[in-house]
Amino acid sequence: MMRAAAAQSTSPARASSPFYSRKVALSLALPRKRIFHNANYSQRALRGVSTWANVKQGPPDPILGVTEAFKADTDSRKINLGVGAYRDENGKPFVLPSVRKAEESIVKAKYDKEYLPITGFGEFTKNAAILAYGKDSTPLKEGRVAITQSISGTGALRIGAAFLSRWYPHAKTVYLPTPSWGNHTPIMKDSGLEVKQYRYYDKKTVGLDFKGLVEDLKAAPSNSIVLLHACAHNPTGVDPTKEQWKEIADLVKEKGHFPFFDMAYQGFASGSVDADAFAPRYFVEQNIPIVLSQSFAKNMGLYGERVGAFSIVTASPEEKARVDSQLKILVRPMYSNPPLHGARIAGTILADQELYGQWLGEVKHMADRIIGMRADLKKLLVSDLGSKLNWDHITNQIGMFCFTGLTPEQVAKLKSEHHVYLTNDGRISIAGVTPHNINHLAESIHEVTK
């Protein structure tokens, strides 16, 4: 079974290369013969014991599992409600017309592809900050907001976590709501932060456990880092009311907690970019220093282009400069500078009055479709199908996701008997609901819950 060294596998590329000599290859291959004498090694001996013998198979992505099961299903009524991306009324991906317009103008302009600065495309970051904080925001006007372009929301969270891990002067612990987006925990942990939880979702009411939230944040040591979903909580869709946000802000102030806002759905949740930014803006108005992760994946539909920003409200322009320099030091050994194309698109839209107005309309259109589907789904369950259960949470919740309250057993039945695919926690992506499939969905939910 011993292969004659490298002689059998001559690649034409190698054979034609003036630099390659088979004789040398054979002579260099000789050491392998010694390993082969131990019969146990067999095939592996040809390459020595594997360098990577200790690497285990990594866990499969749970969301991917849902999509794969959906793909394998041949029933024509099947619905995929695992997908975390917006779909139009025909279930198709939606590229925003304003994005297309911006993209066309960029391609036409034939810009070069030189490196962006480490903290990204200035036109984009400047306007991303205005979008998030509001143009009248005091720290913005005073030049105190440090901001860097990032690899979408994930990248922003990662830079933020790495920054806090290195520079936060108190305990390197972050409190996450229970539940939270699945990737939050590993992002924080890999950056060197310890992860703790605060109560958030109440299974019994299928709503916010505000009492538990307040208790847990009160009990946490002072100056703890607290991650807050600015709007459209992922995965529950359960958001605090304005009044509750104000109470949370008071508590954060009292305890000296440090808010890390994750804003992945500005505009996409309610249809209004200002309304959706209420929480972070309110905190800033209350002089609570925050850090903020922004994603343009959903609200601009720029998903794969990876457009995001991470910002820090600092005490002064001088502090901002220092913070900025440290952000650069964090970014450079990770990826040097961020990608060009998506930032140009987003920057073009944000900077052009007409395109910006067009974009606001398109975001509202997406949000309205989701809100409409929520209303229709609830109506079907309650009025048309006569479900005895309380489905208010479908319309109380906001954003792309809805925690239905279904149990894992009910979820399993939805998959096996009704060809409706969702994650085991009962979360559905309303973005996957369309006028074409909503009837089947409502009927299926009713069947497994009645």
Partner 1 sequence: MPLSKLSNPRPLRSFPTSKTYLFGENHKVIKEDRVASVQTISGTGANHLGALFLARYYRPPGLPPHGGVKLYISNPTWANHEPIFANVGISATKYPYYDPKTIALDMKGFSKTLEEAPNHSIFLLHACAHNPTGVDPTPEQWKELAEIFLRKKHFAFFDCAYQGFASGSLDNDAFSVRLFADLNVPMLVCQSYAKNAGLYGERIGCLNLIASTAGDGVGGKARLQSQLSVLSRVEISNPPTFGARIVSKILNDPQLFEEWKRDVKEMADRIIWTRETLYNLLTQKYQTPPLGDSGNWEHIRRQIGMFSFTGLNPEQVAVIVKKGHVYMTGNGRISMAGLNTKNIEYVAECIDKAVRGTF
Q: Which of residues 136-155 bind partner 1 (CB under 8 A)?
A: 151-155
Closest distance between partner 1 and the C-beta of residue 98, in Å? 13
Residue 183, interface with partner 1 (CB under 8 A)?
Answer: yes
**Distance of alpha carbon 297 from alpha carbon 225, whole angstroms:** 25
**Distance of alpha carbon 79 from alpha carbon 440, whole angstroms:** 9
* Cβ 354 vs Cβ 190: under 8 Å: no
Catalytic residue among 101, 181, 216, 391: 181
The yes-or-no answer on residue 181 being catalytic is yes
Q: Which is nearer to partner 1, 162 or 370 (CB)?
A: 162
**Binding string, residues 360-389; x marks residues near partner 1 by CB under 8 A:** ------------------------------
Q: What are phi and psi of 402, to 5 degrees?
A: -135, 125
Q: Which is nearer to partner 1, 4 or 55 (CB)?
A: 55
Proportion of the chain in helix, strand, coil states, percent, rounded to 5: 50, 15, 40
**Distance of alpha carbon 296 from alpha carbon 276, whole angstroms:** 14
Residue 105, interface with partner 1 (CB under 8 A)?
Answer: no
The yes-or-no answer on residue 298 being catalytic is yes
Site for partner 1 in 391-450 (CB under 8 A): none
* Cβ 209 vs Cβ 244: under 8 Å: no
List the one residue from 41, 69, 77, 85 that touches partner 1 (CB under 8 A).
85
Catalytic residue among 101, 298, 320, 415: 298
The yes-or-no answer on residue 413 being catalytic is no
Which secondary-structure segment (H or E) carries 68?
A: helix 62-72
Site for partner 1 in 197-236 (CB under 8 A): none
Residue 4, interface with partner 1 (CB under 8 A)?
Answer: no
* Cβ 300 vs Cβ 359: under 8 Å: yes
Q: Which two tokens stand for residue 65?
A: 């599992």
Residue 278, interface with partner 1 (CB under 8 A)?
Answer: no
List the one residue from 304, 317, 408, 435 that touches partner 1 (CB under 8 A).
304
The stretch among 109-117, 128-136, 139-147, 383-391 that binds partner 1 (CB under 8 A) is 109-117
Catalytic residue among 209, 262, 276, 376: 262
**Distance of alpha carbon 179 from alpha carbon 229, whole angstroms:** 11
**Binding string, residues 11-50; x marks residues near partner 1 by CB under 8 A:** xxxx-xx-xx---xx--xx-xx----------xx-xxx-x
Q: Which is nearer to partner 1, 14 or 440 (CB)?
A: 14
* Cβ 79 vs Cβ 38: under 8 Å: no
**Distance of alpha carbon 429 from alpha carbon 410, whole angstroms:** 17
Q: How far is it between the farthest Cα atoms of the chain?
A: 83
What residues are annotated to the active site?
181, 262, 298
